[in-house]
Structure 1
Amino acid sequence: MSRVYAHYCLRNPDLPQDSVQYYMDKSTEIASRYKEADMMVYNQLWYCDLLFSKGRLQEALPLTRQSLFDATRIGNSNLVINALFLLTGIYESNPKKALEYLYQAYEVAQKSGDSSIEIYILHSALEVAKQLGDKDEIIKVYSDLDKSITADWEKSKEFIKDYVEYNAVQDQNKLLSEKNAQRALWLLIISISAAMIVLAIYLIMLRRDRRAKARIEALNDVANMQIMTMEEAKHQAVKEEQQRLGQDLHDGLSSSIAAIRYQLETLMMDTSDIELKKRLTMLQKQVEGAYKAARNKSHEWFSAADGEQEQSFEKQIILLTDSSLPDSRYSKNIHIDNSSLSGVDMDTRIALLRIIQEAITNIIKHAKAKNVGILIYEEDDNLLLIINDDGIGLHEKKVNVGRATIGLKSIHRRIQYLNGEIRINSDARGTEIMVSIPLEKS
């Protein structure tokens, strides 16, 4: 998503300035959240280039140097070269300084082994050297350019030689294959016949095995969902009991202690006995400590109940994925932002759990996937649920609500009940389900 935002700005140069700033801020925010250092430096260089194009060189210079330092630190040669080229443009009025940056970019390109970039950099350096008017520098650049072009030509010749030899070997192999084709024909027919018989027997056994496994998995799913429902009820009861105890403690004991404290203060004001006042002062401090302890404990029970609810929901998702998607067949990537679940009611949590269950069922039945990802986070007062896989994708007709499978129709109904929105992107590389549910502002 960070790259999508950045590339959208690059491919639409007519965007207004406020839109450009918005999309680049979103790109940088996502890259920072997932610690994508390369993308953060890329965005920073893009912003430097924008400042340079507007003639704001004093602002662009320190930011470009910082980008060069960051790109060197993470070891990205392309970003290093881009930063050095930008510095060359900033020092356009100082050809000697610009030439130094071009030499640095040439050294980086040499280490990366990209001869085409070497030649491009040296052509730029030649123009700067001519502008500088230094014959020694011009001769040096010509010499390096000749070496790079010669090396690139040698690589090209070596490639052509290998390509010709490869084609010769291919022709020989083709002739040999034609000679062996007739000999292998009868052997192939016999092998195919035997394989068909074995395959038919295997498919019959596999069909019976799948039926048995499907029944077992259905029973396991029902049992797991019953356990999850009981866990939800248990955590809800614990939360309500803790909140009730906290409320009783706050309204009952804390109020009584406050009344005692007030009476002690009244006695201290009414008495003139110094010794009695000292004792009353000590007693007042002890009562004050008891009052703070009772108040803190009531607040602690209130907050602890919410924490257990988030932990329970995350455990349920992990239990659901582990039981349905075994590690031997699937690679799972699950990220849940617990802070986004604070204040989400139980009905919404159960609906989310059912949506995830239906999506996983579709993945198991139809997707033939190996990697599954689940992401839950909050953005712009909306709770976002993203489920993706790298399977064969859905048929175009099944994406539409009218022709969707039973599982997808169930997901649409649950999202409609929550006043949410769903978007399904599917192609041969996999399927992504994006669910957005509005959150009530507290």
Structure 2
Amino acid sequence: MSKSKLISYFLLTLPFCYCNVQGQSNLIRAEQQKLLFVKDSISYINSINRLGMLYHMKNVDSSLYYGMKAKSIASRANYPKGKADADNVIASVLYIRGMYQKSLQLYTDALAAYQALRDTANVSEATMNIANVYLSLGDTTKGLELFRQVIRTGRRDSIMSLVYANYCMGNSALSDDSVQYYMSKIREIASIYKDHRVLIASKALEFDLLLKEGRRTHALKLLKSTLSEAQQYGLDDQEIFLLGDYTRYYENHPDSALHYAWQCYQLAKKKGYVLDLIPILNNVLSYTALSGNKDQIISVQTLLQAEMIEENEKLKKFVGDYIKYNTLQDDNVILSIVNKNNRVKILFLITICVVGIFLLLFIYRLYQNSRKHQRELEQLNLRILEQNKILQANDEFKSKLFSILAHDFRAPLAYTISIANLMKDNPESTKTEMEQFYGTIERQASGMLESFDTILQWIKQQLSGHQHQAEILVLYDLFRESADIVKQQLDVKKIKLSNQIPKHITATSDKEMLQFVNRNLLSNSIKYSPEGSTIVIGCTQDGNSITISVTDEGPGMDEQTLSKLFTISSPFGSSTQHGAGIALSMCKDFIQKLGGRIWAKNAVTKGAVFSYTIPLKI
């Protein structure tokens, strides 16, 4: 393998791994590990493309495999850049194998894709790779013109350092001053991007220039420091190349040249750079022949023959894989054309079927219309009847609402007005009397506000229903909260509240609905309880249900009141013992919506007991 060919191979890897100081083997292992955790298809395609390029100097079969796999997935995923990158990987493998025309075709396809994507960095890279192919084909004029095109149009990014390096290596007509100029460009750009590979490549160019100028001492010193730098960063491929430079440096000293040639071979063998083994062994053989040691010559020849046989087998396998790949590509193209034709036929048949279906639907629609008018007449009569029922129900609802408003607000308002008139007619009332008047007005206003809020909730319930919001409730805490709300009423009448519900009993139900019931039952009991009495809140659990009872020490109720207590037609006065008004009717509706029931009875001795049962879980 010639020096220029080896350098071209090296530079083809750089666009996929520049700005990285890891060795190629480390990069491969890191990428394979990363591939295990990639989830989305785009990242997966990018990763296997990168693996393909990393492998192409070590194992062209693996490189071809990853390139073909990436292209297949990218085509299915409709990912143009992934497909172009895969073409770049496959083209690089074909270039290494000497299949220049095929390589040129794929590089050209990749270039067109990058241009369509306006990917300037990859456009420069693809153009550079095409230039390298032309140089390998012997068309120096075309190759150098493409390099100059990239130099003129390329942006100042990391890829330009590679362009300058390849241009220097491929243009033997460059003057020493021109080489120095381009080397300064290479170092300037590579330093910005910390691209140690290209920096080492520029030093290899400088080594060649020093040898050309006869400055061998400086050349050897530079070569030694550059080799140390390559070893420091773990750049195995660079180290192999630099050991080859050592062999060239000592070409007039066969023993030293042979020593470095063997080192070069052993490193390439150890690191798996199989494509370099045969040209390196040829160097080993040429210097071994100068030594005149027949046994050593035979040993190297045997080793070279074994490597050539192995490489020949790999080449056969590669050609076979590539032929299979091309066959699959051709089959895919044919299959795509067949599928396209089939899709056209299917669309035509679907169109005919759709037209037929529309005709059938049109005929069926005419038939349906002929029957629709008859059904509409029947339904119209039914709707009229239903609307009459709704209107009647609305009238009844409005009548009840007016009755409620008249009953619940007329008496309190009249009483409040009479108090106000009394205050107006007695301006000389004492402070104590005025405070009593104010207190009475405040209590009347609070009562009317409470009644108004109750009626609004009832109307909302009747018109739109109530959505359950089930949650786990501690029943003891519910009555404690309700007691806090009615505390003023309890304190005014010095009533004691005994909450005997066990604190561990819970139910899954709607808190707001239950609290509405609890507050009304407590307020009702307070209203009819004598001063200084006790209200007892009890609880029993039976299977999957819980019964809550509120017992007061009031006068109790007669049978007629009990029978109509929870109906909307019951009396709604707030100052009589006849019924508890609309609130109790709402309590009944709420409890029924929660899956329970509510009732009332007189206590054994005196007072009334209001009870309700709800399920443990609605």
TM-score with structure 1 setting the length: 0.38
Structure number with bigger Rg: 2
